[in-house]
Amino acid sequence: MAEARLIDGKRIAETVRADVAAGVARFAARAGRPPGLAVVLVGEDPASQVYVRSKGKQTVEAGMRSIEHKLPATTSQRELLDLVAALNRDDAIDGILVQLPLPPGLDAGAVIEAIDPAKDVDGFHPVNAGRLAIGAPSLVPCTPLGSVMLAKSVSASLAGMEAVVLGRSTIVGKPVAQLLLAEDCTVTIAHSKTRHLADVVRRADLVVAAVGRPEMVRGDWIKPGAVVIDVGINRVAGAEPGKTKLVGDVAFDEASRIAGAITPVPGGVGPMTIACLLRNTLTAAEQRAERR
């Protein structure tokens, strides 16, 4: 079997961002203001700080307004809910993202439910999750949206494909499964209790791995020619002492000898998440403007 085609998430994310920037310019010309994205970061989680910095930079590069609220880890639930309520009322803000995880003691579910669903650019609010489940227009979670866009970059129609989604999380596995169902795939959601997991994955024309276990999916689990989308980002020990590296949920070197197409880690799904967040922010701005 020849080496799999590499799905270049970095390049595809660049084209998404360019499309968004063009849409932002059109929106701003009509509305007299750019779309606004508010990001709320509570506490000092280092990974979250990196994400938030990257989001802010790319928001501005796309021509949008970035509003950052950095709150101490001691912030109370009430203070956080008050901030969300103020952002809901602010007409110049189209998207609200509360960075997860929240520090211990804060109830993420209650905070997400407090966000106006029309501004929920993460697509985590139960109203958006419910709309996705019934096939109604909704704001769709960014990583799932990016994952499906990458699959469609290989094969414009996914109709009739056997798709196996590994992982049943609310933020990745379940929404990916909903999106693939909407693309007319035959969808299986596998998880930690699934029996004969390797055999289940071997049936798949399309595999989406989102379990957070470094290199769990081996090359001999992959059906020859399958499309493999690896959502995992796991930091593990590197070859040299004291050094670390990022690996996915799929053993890339093995799988890329069998698959038809595969996403690398890093440079696959990762760059798509922020690109899709910018896209959702533009979508939210356009939909809010239409409703007025």
Binding site for ligand GUN (CB under 6 A): 51, 97-100, 122, 142, 273
| Intra-chain end-to-end CA distance of the chain, in Å | 56
Written as six digits, the tokens of 39 are: 């990001």
Residue 55 annotated among the catalytic residues of the structure: yes
Task: Give the contacts of 106 (CB within 8 A, at least 6 positions apart).
Answer: 42, 75, 77, 80
* Gap between the Cα atoms of 272 and 19, Å rounded: 13
Q: How far is the CB of 51 from ligand GUN (least distance, A)?
A: 6
Residue 122 annotated among the catalytic residues of the structure: yes
Q: How far is the CB of 224 from ligand GUN (least distance, A)?
A: 33
**Active-site hit among 94, 122, 230, 249:** 122
Closer to ligand GUN at the Cβ: 256 or 263? 263
Closer to ligand GUN at the Cβ: 103 or 219? 103
Q: Which residues pair with 183 in a beta bridge?
A: none
CA dihedral of 136, 17, 184, 131, whole degrees rounded to 10:
-20
Q: How far is the CB of 240 from ligand GUN (least distance, A)?
A: 28
- C-beta neighbour count of 241 within 10 angstroms: 6
Residue 223 annotated among the catalytic residues of the structure: no
* Gap between the Cα atoms of 162 and 150, Å rounded: 16
**Active-site hit among 58, 94, 99, 178:** 99
Q: How far is the CB of 212 from ligand GUN (least distance, A)?
A: 12
Q: How far is the CB of 28 from ligand GUN (least distance, A)?
A: 25
Q: How far is the CB of 203 from ligand GUN (least distance, A)?
A: 30
Q: Which amino acid is at 1?
A: M
Residue nearest to ligand GUN (CB): 100
* Gap between the Cα atoms of 144 and 124, Å rounded: 12
Q: Which amino acid is at 286?
A: E
Closer to ligand GUN at the Cβ: 93 or 185? 93
Task: Tell me the catalytic residues.
Answer: 55, 99, 122
